[in-house]
Amino acid sequence: MTDEPLLSVRNLKKHYPITEGILSKQVGAAKAVDGISFDIEEGETLGLVGESGCGKSTAASSIIRLEEATDGEVIFNGGGRQGRTRNQDGSHPNDITQFEDEELKAFRRDAQMIFQDPSSSLDPRMTVGSSVAEMLLVHGMTDKERRREIVEDLLERVGLEAEYYDRYPHEFSGGQKQRIALARALVLNPEFIVADEPVSALDVSIRAEILSLLNDIQEEFGLSMLFISHDMSVVREVCDRVAVMYLGEIVEIGDTEDVFSDPQHPYTEALLSAIPTPDPTLDRENIELKGTVPSPISPPSGCRFHTRCHKVIQSGEYDLEQSDWRALLTFRDKVQTGEIDPSSIRNALSGEDMDPSDVDDETVKTQLRVEFDLPETLSDRDAESTLQTAIDALAEGRIEDANEELSVFSTPCEKEEPAETDHGNGHLSSCLRNQSAAERAEPAPADD
């Protein structure tokens, strides 16, 4: 590896406008990718992981310029950590997001993408050989025999037969189609490949073969790779480093073994706990994420994960079991957003043979605690008194009074945006738990 990364992503954003009315006036934006930064070294594989909807695939398509980024830089093959010399307007000469057509076409020779579903990425009306060779024709290779020779060699390199050149996609299995897609990505001898969930659409029995092939091809061709997946076990097998993404932001990044053995963000912990284990005797906590799933249109203030975090920080006034504190904040949020309707609870409890008005308040109160995982009595006396007053108000239909009572429960996680903490060896995370109270109280440095 050289001292400079092959790819540098700096504060990349991709926002989709939300419009309304005849004039399509913009009233907001879905922040699919909201300021991510990372480097990929020559010959390195970086895994980008997170649950569905976190922005992984949007980040990939923005990096490879299949979609236009809203803001930020993607500096390819010459960015360097120092940024090198910039143009007079402040832009970087190697910033992909600023490339004109000819520059972008040249970039396409060096960077390719493998998509999740190989069936949809192959034209059913073209032979697989023609699909792979098309890239060579677009980039100026007019010699038909030479194109065929190159493609047949590549088909053999990815574990297929040269004579498959004249067959059509429907004649192949899912695993074979993904091998063809890999051959198409390699045909221009690129330096960088984005693999977007390349094995998630395949049978488990085929996945190991494709992952092994990707590893062999990477070593043979000296490729750098951005490997996108929601499967942490796959990422551990193929990636040198891993970046964990949540709601458009990277919350943790580091060497794969460092992140897996010592996760520093609660979201990473939750993802790792979901990895299946073949050992039934292994005692391992299975973390269930509870709370409110936020929207990228209106992401939460502070730490974006706080609405679901199982380690959300308690305020200094109370001393509760962590699971009870999580349940209490979730209950507060549901009341604030108007999602708790006492009359609906009465209707559900009454059934078909009972009038809802006959359901007594105590039954409603008990059901509220059960439905939101609240214990019969909170261990903190002051917290229990406030909660009971709020539940009493809800049972009587006084939702605004309940909301006012519950508003005293708050967490630093919803007020303070976490700074990035360096755990050494390039292992970074963004979680308030990794900052001291004094650090959290310090104001952020002003921009130059």
The amino acid at residue 154 is L
Strands 428-430 and 249-255: antiparallel
| pLDDT (0 to 100) of residue 210 | 87
| pLDDT (0 to 100) of residue 419 | 93
Domains in the chain (CATH in brackets) are 7-19+34-239 (3.40.50.300), 322-410 (no CATH)
Evaluate if residue 171 carries a pLDDT over 60.
yes
Per-residue pLDDT reduced to its tens digit, 17-54: 998 888 888 888 999 999 999 999 999 999 999 998 89
Name the percent of the chain lying above pLDDT 90.
Answer: 64
In 21-141, DSSP assigns E strands to: 25-40, 45-49, 71-76, 111-114
| pLDDT (0 to 100) of residue 37 | 96
Per-residue pLDDT reduced to its tens digit, 141-158: 889 999 999 999 999 999
pLDDT band for 62, please (50, 70, 90 cuts). Answer: very high
In sign, the C-alpha dihedral spanning 368, 370, 376, 380 is negative
| pLDDT (0 to 100) of residue 285 | 74
| pLDDT (0 to 100) of residue 81 | 41
The residues, any chain, with a CB within 8 Å of residue 411's CB and separated by 6 or more, are 306, 312, 313, 314, 315, 329
Q: Region 78-103: what's the mean pLDDT?
A: 71
Per-residue pLDDT reduced to its tens digit, 340-354: 888 887 877 776 677
Per-residue pLDDT reduced to its tens digit, 365-388: 898 999 999 999 999 999 999 999
In sign, the C-alpha dihedral spanning 305, 307, 308, 312 is positive
Evaluate if residue 248 carries a pLDDT over 50.
yes
In sign, the C-alpha dihedral spanning 179, 183, 184, 189 is positive
pLDDT band for 88, please (50, 70, 90 cuts). Answer: low
Which helix (H) or strand (E) element contains residue 174? helix 174-186
Evaluate if residue 65 carries a pLDDT over 60.
yes
HSE (side-chain half, CA atoms, 13 Å) at 136:
22
CA distance 263 to 296: 25
CA distance 264 to 423: 9
Q: Region 426-444: what's the mean pLDDT?
A: 76
Per-residue pLDDT reduced to its tens digit, 406-429: 999 999 999 999 999 999 999 999
Q: pLDDT: is 10 or 119 the higher one?
A: 10
Cα–Cα–Cα angle for 13, 440, 383, nearest 5°?
105
pLDDT band for 79, please (50, 70, 90 cuts). Answer: very low
